[in-house]
Copies of this chain bind each other. A is one copy, B any other.
């Protein structure tokens, strides 16, 4: 297995320990629940924002805990929802009178776990609301009633809600921010290779040497179609068109544009995609106010990328601009 792993069963706690050691002071780690929280949360009168989902999407989710971002997050095993009690403990760990907002990416397992956790928390008198993120336009006419998936757009929901909560907004306001971001954000991804969950030890799906999966899910879920690999511009165009036509984004809109690497794609290639996406946005009359290139929501070592557009307004621009800090540091 071409991976850095010890015992696969210990993979998640081991990497979480690394995150903690590399970010002294900022975070607190509760290994029993694979839960990471800000050392300075709960804070009186501040809404807490939490999330938790399968591992393997780093920096989502526990690595986006920090000032101006999530208050706490828990991780399940790779690509599997955290257990209900971890979700419940996550809510409890940062519960305040102002309340807790749970941001759930739209996967069945995550939804059920958080739903039950919220019920348990409410039963204990904790004020909590849930919000479902579903920015992935790939499988539009999905058979599957769970609906669209939550992917890289998640970053923007967290960033905006984190900023709002930091600024002292109340629970309904932070929830409204989540709704606004989710209503205005759209993503689609493409994969060139599969990835290898440590416990499985082999690729999660098969894909030919000259093939790509258009509209890939971050757990390797099938997308819109399998196709021959095209050149970078053609791929970007397809992602851009699918995303831009979905809302649709209109000439004159101010937007944030993100190219998110799925884990195994070289930085240079992400910028090749970004260059084209930015040009396409400008040609469409969109003003790219904020630009994001890097890894925000990955699928282990999958070679691939996703394109996200977020339509902005004054409030969202302010929230995106607000200071924040996470475990992903450069300096």
Residue among B2, B23, B298 making CB contact with A303, cutoff 8 Å:
B2
- Could you mark each residue 283-316 of chain A with 1 if its beta carbon is under 8 Å from any beta carbon of chain B, else 0? 0000010011111001011010100000000000
A117 within 8 A of B: no
- Could you mark each residue 5-18 of chain A with 1 if its beta carbon is under 8 Å from any beta carbon of chain B, else 0? 11100011011111
A182 to B: closest C-beta gap in Å: 19
Nearest-neighbor residue (CB-CB) of A258 within chain B? B22
A56 to B: closest C-beta gap in Å: 7
Known: A2-B192, A272-B11. A18 touches B58 (CB 8 A): no
Complex Cα–Cα for A2 and B209 (A): 7
Q: Is the CB of A271 within 8 A of B15?
A: yes
Interfacial chain B residues near A195, Cβ < 8 Å: 266
Q: Is the CB of A272 within 8 A of B303?
A: no
Nearest-neighbor residue (CB-CB) of A263 within chain B? B266
Q: Is the CB of A18 within 8 A of B272?
A: yes
Interfacial chain B residues near A19, Cβ < 8 Å: 271
Interfacial chain B residues near A305, Cβ < 8 Å: 4
- Of A14, A229, A328, A330, chain B has the most CB atoms within 10 Å of the CB of A330
A264 within 8 A of B: yes
Nearest-neighbor residue (CB-CB) of A321 within chain B? B331
A167 within 8 A of B: no
Residue among B209, B270, B294 making CB contact with A329, cutoff 8 Å:
B294
